[in-house]
Structure 1
Amino acid sequence: MHILFDLDGTLTDSRPGIINSIRHSLAENQLTVPEADALLWCIGPPILESFRKLVGPDQPHLFDPTVTKYRERYSETGIFENEVYPEIVDTLAELRQLGHTLHVATSKAEIYAKRIITHFELDRFFTSVNGSELDGTRADKAELIAHILLQQGISPAEAVMIGDREHDMIGATKNNLPAIGALWGYGTGKELMESGATLCARVPHLLPEMISSLE
């Protein structure tokens, strides 16, 4: 089976780097800086989508500057304010031993995703690491999953998506893939089930058994 993993909130807890970089960007552009907990909704969706909401329609001239400031800090510092979730390494190893092929499917810019996967030595588990372009191309999860299926020659019948937010579940459903919600991430069980999750896993070590039940 081909298993597509989201990155932020699924493989790694990326909250500090993303939130710190967003708050830095807003401050640098003299915009209101929300408390960290008020920005948790930004973890998961494409970052360009988040900044469109943060900047708002009344100040479109600040969109590009805020994205630039975010990427300046994130690419140097924020990218490493991040850690692999407990049980992930052992779970990935078990899935590989069971004969599954693993792929990363993230709305994050691919250039950053590859650096993160390599930095945490997770690249040994993954056949491909897939993300968006900096201009937002393939940031939509449905578009990204379709791209991966095409590029890797994967049939939807032999794949499953694992992620922690509604975008992952919706993207999988649009491509006729089953999806497993990662409850250790940033989405709620209600969000995941209402957006199309086939199953939800409370912790990573439950994934091998759940995936077997889908085969």
Structure 2
Amino acid sequence: MMEMRYDKLLFDLDGTISDPLTGIARCINHALQHAGYRTYTEAELSPFVGPPLDQTFHSITGSRDQKKIKALVEKYRERYADIGYAENQLYQDVDATIAGLHAAGAMMAVCTSKPQVYAEKILERFNLRQYFQFVSGGDIGIKKWQQIAALKALGLVTEETLMIGGRDVDLSAAAVNHLPSAAVLWGYGSLEELLPHRCLHVFHHPHELNLLKDWIVAQPSTV
């Protein structure tokens, strides 16, 4: 492994910081039922934690009608804005680990496919927003690699920023933008899904992220 130090840790949210399956599954079913489609169990919907919503509804319904997909997304968000975001569960030890990384001087940020407003509400709910320099949210039609490219163009991330995520979409987005990456295995991605992206680190439990203290360019703590 090439020796390097990271100027920032860029976290995915769903399946990395918190477990969103219950809220996501219930909101998907809310939208599907309203549109006359069958509903699914949480286990059946777990593969859709991570990818953008439009891709999810394309996959589930088989529809390529953009108006129908947009309507499904809007109905999903109708419930998510009121209830779904609060059905997240924080992964064990994530809060203490993030606080510890911040205390050690790690500069951190979040890059998620979900809209920024929901990501902010989730982080605030768990009292974690204070530890992140910024939160980058996505939207329909915007792929994660495009989000990271935009952050690079603004100088908010560099090729020394470590992307930390648990799905193919996270690590492939990092690779496209020449960012190093770390795979986490407590969410919804498998080792088989993540290893082909040549991630520099593989973590099996959130407390293992503390190992990154030896790899960061430490900044003075502001909290």
- TM normalised by structure 1 equals 0.91
CA distance in 2, matches of 1:131, 1:59: 24
Question: Could you list the runs of 5+ residues in structure 1 that have no partner in the other structure?
Answer: none
| Aligned counterpart, 2:181 | 179
| Aligned counterpart, 1:149 | 152
Query: How far apart are residue 82 of structure 1 and its match?
Result: 0.6
Question: 142-151 or 75-84, which moves further after superposition?
Answer: 142-151
| Aligned counterpart, 2:56 | 50
CA distance in 2, matches of 1:194, 1:214: 24
Question: Could you list the runs of 5+ residues in structure 2 that have no partner in the other structure?
Answer: 1-6, 218-223
Alignment equivalent of 1:5, drawn from 4, 7, 11: 11
**1:101-128: CA deviations, max 9, x gaps?**
0000101111211111112211111110
| Aligned counterpart, 1:116 | 122
The percent of aligned pairs where both chains have the same amino acid is 32
- Kindly indicate whether residue 61 of structure 2 is the aligned counterpart of residue 67 of structure 1: no
CA distance in 2, matches of 1:65, 1:114: 24
**1:69-88: CA deviations, max 9, x gaps?**
11111111111001111111
- TM normalised by structure 2 equals 0.88
* Cα distance, 1:210–1:141 mapped onto 2, change above 3 Å: same
CA distance in 1, matches of 2:213, 2:196: 20
CA distance in 2, matches of 1:183, 1:43: 13
SS in 2 for 1:30: coil
Q: Check the 8 A contact 1:103/1:129 in 2, yes or no.
A: yes
Runs of 4 or more off by more than 4 Å in structure 1? 58-61
Equivalent residues in 2 for 1:1-215 (5 A)? 1-57=7-63, 62-133=68-139, 136-137=140-141, 139-157=142-160, 159-210=161-212, 212-213=214-215
Letter paired with 1:185: G
Query: How far apart are residue 153 of structure 1 and its match?
Result: 3.9
Letter paired with 2:162: V
* Cα distance, 1:105–1:153 mapped onto 2, change above 3 Å: closer
The alignment's C-alpha RMSD in Å is 1.8
* Cα distance, 1:60–1:145 mapped onto 2, change above 3 Å: closer
Query: How far apart are residue 61 of structure 1 and its match?
Result: 5.1
SS in 2 for 1:34: coil
Q: Give the paired residue count.
A: 211
Query: How far apart are residue 36 of structure 1 and its match?
Result: 2.0
